[in-house]
Amino acid sequence: MTRGVDLALHLVTDDRLPIDALPSVVDAAVAGGVTVVQLRDKRVGAAELIRRAGLLSDVIAGRVPLLIDDRVDVALAARDAGARIDGVHLGQSDIPPLTARRLLGADAVVGWTAHTPAHLRAAAALPAGTLDYLGVGVIRPTATKADHPPALGVAGFAELADAASLPCVAIGGVRPEDVGPLRRAGAAGVAVVSAICAAADPGAAARSFAHAVDAEGGR
């Protein structure tokens, strides 16, 4: 846990999911055991992202933290519009984490994508308290991120997690059966996109991951 946040099971929303289905999928996933929701959609503009952030804030109703992927401006604007936004997850090409921390405040959750030793060194060089966790992947190839780096597998993830100075969340093609090996490899949690968002029953899919987390003593 970090800043009181349970990192065990992240739902990252799939931008291929129709907007009219998004709230019900997120609601079911949270009820099924997701511990963090990250709104990610690179296909729409800021105004629409702010609207979607408000929808998800209403649906989640404070049950778990809501993070915005990439867009610190959207996180701030959605907060200004009354949404509960708990933080952001940033990529390597996004606004610097230190700037995000200053803008969002000491209580915000700030995650950063890291998939190379150089990324780990950059994270470790930041002042203490800048970052809360690292998103490390991909574990296996995934269609939800066409430009993803080479797949790490569990062994590659373990090497990075062992060298990291922050909790690491595994992402990229993660399946329920991967949770145990990844947790034993040092994962503070796992992040899931299509395995929940594209499931016929998102709540049941989330429960399958949550049960795998429970089996490792991770809740």
The percentage of the chain sitting over the pLDDT mark of 90, rounded to a whole number, equals: 91
CA distances from 6 to 81, 175, 205 (A): 26, 19, 19
Q: Sign of the C-alpha dihedral, residues 119, 124, 128, 129?
A: positive
Residue 219 confidence (pLDDT) above 50: no
The percentage of the chain sitting over the pLDDT mark of 70, rounded to a whole number, equals: 95
User: Distance between CA atoms of 109 and 11, rounded to whole angstroms?
Assistant: 15
Residue 148 confidence (pLDDT) above 90: no
DSSP state of 5: B
**Average pLDDT along the chain:** 94
Spatial CA neighbour of 218 closest among 170, 150, 173? 170
CB neighbours of residue 146 within 10 Å: 6
User: 115-142: per-residue pLDDT in tens?
Assistant: 999 999 999 999 999 999 999 999 998 7
- Tell me if residue 173 falls in helix, strand or coil: coil
User: 5-52: per-residue pLDDT in tens?
Assistant: 999 999 999 999 999 999 999 999 999 999 999 999 999 999 999 999
